[in-house]
């Protein structure tokens, strides 16, 4: 008995020792991480960001990761053709036709093959005419929403695209434009899982068999071609309502989650997070590099976001930079900060006339007379751009410079060439004191007793109510008063609506862009669209050319230069600075290279790796 006891003890001791040895020998951190937690300030609202009311950055980012089409913007930014998915080429110059072909073998996450039929829905949700013809409602109507409550109607697609036709092999579509359009590439049709839409329209709540899916795809095609109002309305109901989910769990209809992108929504906890996992059937785009799960967490407060990064609760955070957030993020160890400027720039606009349909403008800057031009030039000369950069932008981005071209950002290759030629240098020559003196001299021509603080020219300045805008306005007011201007400040939260209001002589705000179009940054200076009432027939003519001409880079450049020169002469607009987006990333996460265009840092998520 005693002996047995002892053997038990020995056995126990051996087992314990073995356990300890195994514990010590096994590596402390075995697996590499395969998850990325991304902070977003909003809560998720819909799987369909094309919906009129769900055009939210977070929704679009989730959609970007879970769906991929013919092209995407990289960090240069250049529109990259996604050759894994398909290809496109111009098949006819006149009439202008482009053929889009999906490669064979591409499949949805439920295994259904992707074909040309999946490209047709774009037409349904973008063409006003189709919506009207198919009895789905007039998207331009004031009082009733169309069956597909899409944000895509009444835009360029609707204005310029005539028709879309499916090729006989059903793998391609041909888009016919009403006339040549230089930015046709941006308007590639997107893919939609039409078989899933049809299944949901018929009330299904489970993934179908392959045969079902093919049948459903054909049903959609028939409905599309015959403009079957009943069927399309049912699909429209699904498209407009069913995808608006704030919660995804095991009870969610799996048909909603059919995608072709690298990631697929796994679960959504309302107001808290969206979890995406690898799509096992993904073959529509570039291969992923080891990240298996991406989670978007909702943290509205920027300090909270920074501290979550510091506590390693999150790996990726991107926000409009402020001096506070830069200071805070700089202190955190183990993260990499990237200050890529986004495609948003601050600029000052001087009114020279009334906006289309606006009340007549009679202020000091009205018209194209020499006096109005001189006074506008004076105001722009005295606008303390360098001081604004030094005091407001440099604390956020130490490399910031005064932006001196309306078309090119200081980061772009053509910028140097442009600023040497565009004649905006008269607003940067010398010191600010010298420029303000020149401005005062110009004002004196018309108001002989003007001097610093004389308040000879009264102007109303409009801007948004934010701290950054307020400090810019204060700097401008002080400097302009040196040149004889009396500046009344009008910080307004509804400034956007007031841009067309002739009460205000000057406005400064930011313009952003989401795609590289041939009209560049100038479409808003067309007299028909100009909020500040700018009217220069020559400028209108060149913008008209840019809207429709087929130009190479040099031809485009020469037109941009011509506009910039004309506008410098008219002294109606001046860029100030490019606002940086701050992206803070866990230093262990590699290959994050934010670009200036949406989706900024996420564009190459498939290359991310630890």
344: contact with another protein by CB under 8 A: no
Task: Return the range that interacts with another protein (CB under 8 A); candidates 6-14, 254-262, 269-277, 481-489.
Answer: 269-277
Which CB sits closer to another protein, 51 or 233?
51
Distance between CA atoms of 127 and 154, rounded to whole angstroms? 7
Task: Using the rule CB under 8 A, give the single segment among 29-37, 255-263, 435-443, 532-540 that binds another protein.
Answer: 29-37
Q: Compute the least distance from the CB of residue 10 to another protein, in Å.
A: 27
- Residue 303 in the binding site for another protein (CB under 8 A): yes
Nearer to another protein, 181 or 485 (CB): 181
494 part of the interface to another protein, by CB under 8 A = yes
For 507, the token pair is: 């406005």
* Phi then psi dihedrals of residue 347, to 5 deg: -150, 160
**Residue 596 in contact with another protein, rule: CB under 8 A:** no
Closest Cα to residue 297, out of 37, 49, 582? 37
**Closer of 84 and 241 to another protein (Cβ):** 241
Minimum CB separation of residue 391 from another protein in Å reads 24
**Does 35 sit near another protein (CB under 8 A)?**
yes
**CB burial of residue 486 (10 Å; 0-12, 13-18, 19+):** middle
Please spell the DSSP secondary structure of 215-272, one letter per residue: HHHHHHHHHHHHT-HHHHHHHHHIIIIIT--S-BSTTS-GGGG---SSEEEEEEETTT
Which residue, 56 or 470, has its beta carbon nearer to another protein?
56
If binding is defined by CB under 8 A, does position 431 make contact with another protein? no
Task: Answer yes or no whether residue 422 interacts with another protein by CB under 8 A.
Answer: no
| Cα–Cα distance measured from residue 506 to residue 499, given in angstroms and rounded to the nearest whole number | 9
Rule CB under 8 A: choose which of 46, 115, 260, 573 binds another protein: 46
SS3 call for 117: helix
- Spatial separation of the C-alpha atoms in residues 151 and 240, rounded to whole Å: 11
Told to check if 180 binds another protein by CB under 8 A, we report no
Distance of CA 526 to the CA centre of its chain: 23
Token pair of 296 as six digits: 């978007």
- Is there binding between residue 297 and another protein (CB under 8 A)? yes
Question: Is residue 324 a contact residue for another protein (CB under 8 A)?
Answer: no
The CB-side HSE value for 290 (13 A sphere, CA atoms) comes to: 10
* Adjacent-strand bridge partners of 79: 73
Cα separation, 466 vs 570, in Å, equals: 29
Between 493 and 552, name the residue whose CB sits nearer to another protein.
493
Counting contacts by CB under 8 A, is residue 497 touching another protein? yes
Q: Write down how long the chain is.
A: 610
- Segment 52 to 71, residues that bind another protein, using CB under 8 A: 52-56
Of 144-152, 356-364, 385-393, 435-443, the window that binds another protein (rule: CB under 8 A) is 144-152
Give the SS3 label for residue 518. Answer: coil
Task: Kindly list the residues in this chain that would bind another protein in the complex (CB under 8 A).
Answer: 31, 35, 37, 43, 45-46, 52-56, 139-145, 149, 151-156, 241, 244, 246, 269-273, 275, 293, 295, 297-301, 303-305, 307-308, 310-313, 493-497, 499, 509, 511-514, 521, 523-524
């Amino acid at each position: 008995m005693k002996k047995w006891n002892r053997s038990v003890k020995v056995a126990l001791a051996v087992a314990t020792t073995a356990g300890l040895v195994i514990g010590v020998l096994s590596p402390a951190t075995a697996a590499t991480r395969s998850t990325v937690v991304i902070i977003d300030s909003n809560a998720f609202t819909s799987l369909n960001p094309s919906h009129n009311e769900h055009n939210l950055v977070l929704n679009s980012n989730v959609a970007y990761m879970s769906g991929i089409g013919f092209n995407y913007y990289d960090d240069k930014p250049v529109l990259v053709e996604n050759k894994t998915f398909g290809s496109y080429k111009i098949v006819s110059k006149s009439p202008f036709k482009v053929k889009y072909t999906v490669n064979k073998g591409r499949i949805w996450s439920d295994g259904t093959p992707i074909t040309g039929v999946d490209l047709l829905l774009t037409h349904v949700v973008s063409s006003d005419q189709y919506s009207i013809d198919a009895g789905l409602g007039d998207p331009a109507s004031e009082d009733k929403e169309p069956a597909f409550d899409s944000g895509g109607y009444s835009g360029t697609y609707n204005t310029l695209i005539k028709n879309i036709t499916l090729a006989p092999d059903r793998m391609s579509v041909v888009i016919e434009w009403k006339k040549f359009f230089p930015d046709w590439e941006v308007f590639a049709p997107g893919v939609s899982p039409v078989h899933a839409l049809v299944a949901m329209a018929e009330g299904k709540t489970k993934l179908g068999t392959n045969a079902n899916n093919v049948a459903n795809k054909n049903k959609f095609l028939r409905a599309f071609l015959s403009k079957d109002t009943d069927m399309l309305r049912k699909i429209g109901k699904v498209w407009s309502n069913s995808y608006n989910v704030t919660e995804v769990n095991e009870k969610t209809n799996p048909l909603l989650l059919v995608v072709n992108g690298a990631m697929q929504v796994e679960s959504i906890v309302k107001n808290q997070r969206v979890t995406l996992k690898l799509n096992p059937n993904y073959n529509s785009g570039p291969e992923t590099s080891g990240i298996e799960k991406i989670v978007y967490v909702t943290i509205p407060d920027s300090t909270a976001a920074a501290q979550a990064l510091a506590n390693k609760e999150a790996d990726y955070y991107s926000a409009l930079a402020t001096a506070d957030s830069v200071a805070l993020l700089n202190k955190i160890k183990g993260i990499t900060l990237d200050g890529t400027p986004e495609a948003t720039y601050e600029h000052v606009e001087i009114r020279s006339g009334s906006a289309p349909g606006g009340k007549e403008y009679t202020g000091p800057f009205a018209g194209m007379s020499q006096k109005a031009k001189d006074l506008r030039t004076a105001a722009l000369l005295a606008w303390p751009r360098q001081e604004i950069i030094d005091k407001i932008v440099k604390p956020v981005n130490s490399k910031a410079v005064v932006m001196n071209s309306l078309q090119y950002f200081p980061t772009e290759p053509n910028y140097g060439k442009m600023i040497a030629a565009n004649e905006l240098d008269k607003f940067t020559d010398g010191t600010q004191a010298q420029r303000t003196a020149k401005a005062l001299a110009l004002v004196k021509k018309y108001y002989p007793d003007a001097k610093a603080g004389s308040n000879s020219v009264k102007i109303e300045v409009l801007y948004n109510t934010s701290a950054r805008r307020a400090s810019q306005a204060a700097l401008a007011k002080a400097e302009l008063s040196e040149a004889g201007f009396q500046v009344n400040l009008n910080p307004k939260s509804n400034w956007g609506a007031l841009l067309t209001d002739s009460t205000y002589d000057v406005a400064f705000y930011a313009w952003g862009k989401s795609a590289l179009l041939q009209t560049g940054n100038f479409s808003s200076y067309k007299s028909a669209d100009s909020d500040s009432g700018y009217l220069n027939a020559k400028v209108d003519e060149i913008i008209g050319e840019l809207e429709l001409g087929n130009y190479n880079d040099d031809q485009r450049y020469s037109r941009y230069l011509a506009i910039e020169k004309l506008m410098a002469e008219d002294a109606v607009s001046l860029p100030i600075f490019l606002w940086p987006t701050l992206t803070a990333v866990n230093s262990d996460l590699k290959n994050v290279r934010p670009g200036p265009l949406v989706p900024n840092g996420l564009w190459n998520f498939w290359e991310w790796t630890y």
